[in-house]
């Protein structure tokens, strides 16, 4: 049975692009336009992989990522961060949250900076979930 991949991004272009790539390579795409919806879909559907944007309205990717990795039931779902902001900026904001008393959390499995080539994204997904 095909693996299901959740794409969370507020940019409809990115959603359409990622959705098309997923379909092309034989995955079933799930879609959320903000972190809040993303989290509830994750809890309901238990996807095999999450592709997550960082800058979004309603619960940013930074927060959603912490929720995922802090939740026993969800923390083993691999996450690809696909963002316009640089990897070190993302890591720095995670460190800042940790310093403010939150639990330290692991780094994402893969961090990709936009824009990304379709074949490159497909390869990374295949490496993670086959």
Partner 1 sequence: MDMNKIVLIDDDEDSLNNLSLSLKSEGYDVIAVTSGKEGLDAVERASPSIVLTDLNMPEMGGIDVLKRVKISNTDAEVIVMTGHGDMEAAVKALRYGASDFINKPVSDEVLKLALKRAKEKLVTRERFRAYTSDLENMCHMAIGEVKRKSDFQDKLITSSNDGIVATDENGRIIIFNPEAEAIFGIPRIDVVRKLDFRQLFPPQIADVFGRMFSAGRRMGDVDWQDVMIPRKDGDDVPARFYCTLLFDGEETIGSVGFFQDLREIRRLQQELVKSERLAAIGQTVARLAHYIKNILAGLKGATYVVNIGLDKNDIDKLKTGWQMVERNVGRISYLVADLLAYSKEREPEFRNCFPNDIAEDVCELLDGMAMENRIKVERDFDPSIKDVSMDPDMAHRILLNLVSNAVDACIFDLDETKRHKVSVGTHRENDNIIRFSVLDNGTGMSEEVKNKIFSAFFSTKGGRGTGLGLLVVQKLVQEQKGSIEIVSELGKGSTFIVRLPYKQVE
Asked if 24 interacts with partner 1 (CB under 8 A), we say: yes
Asked if 58 interacts with partner 1 (CB under 8 A), we say: yes
- The CB-of-39 to partner 1 minimum distance in angstroms stands at 12
Q: Which residues does residue 30 pair with via DSSP β-bridges, in sequence order?
A: 6
Among 7, 30, 32, 56, binds partner 1 (CB under 8 A): 56
The residue among 59 and 93 lying less far from partner 1, judged by its C-beta, is 59
Q: Which residues does residue 4 pair with via DSSP β-bridges, in sequence order?
A: 28
Q: Residue 29: which region, alpha, beta or left (left: phi > 0; alpha: psi -120 to 50)?
A: beta
The residue among 42 and 60 lying less far from partner 1, judged by its C-beta, is 60
- The CB-of-76 to partner 1 minimum distance in angstroms stands at 26
Backbone angles phi, psi at 33, to 5 degrees: -95, -5
Asked if 12 interacts with partner 1 (CB under 8 A), we say: yes
Residue matched to tokens 């379909």: 23
Instruction: Name the strand (E) or helix (H) holding 109.
Output: none
Both structure tokens of 59 = 């619960």
- 8 Å CB contact between 70 and 105: yes
The residue among 46 and 126 lying less far from partner 1, judged by its C-beta, is 126
Binding site for partner 1 (CB under 8 A): 10-14, 16-17, 20-21, 24, 55-60, 63, 84, 114-115, 118
């Amino acid at each position: 049975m095909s693996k299901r991949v959740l794409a969370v991004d507020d940019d409809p272009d990115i959603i359409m692009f990622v959705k098309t790539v997923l379909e092309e390579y034989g995955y079933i795409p799930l879609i959320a336009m903000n972190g809040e919806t993303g989290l509830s879909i994750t809890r309901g559907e238990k996807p095999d992989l999450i592709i997550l944007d960082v800058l979004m309205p309603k619960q940013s990717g930074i927060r959603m990522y912490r929720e995922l990795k802090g939740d026993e039931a969800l923390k083993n779902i691999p996450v690809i961060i696909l963002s316009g902001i640089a990897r070190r900026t993302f890591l720095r904001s995670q460190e800042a949250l940790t310093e403010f008393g939150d639990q330290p959390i692991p780094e994402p499995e893969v961090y990709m900076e936009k824009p990304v080539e379709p074949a490159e994204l497909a390869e990374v997904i295949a490496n993670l979930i086959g």
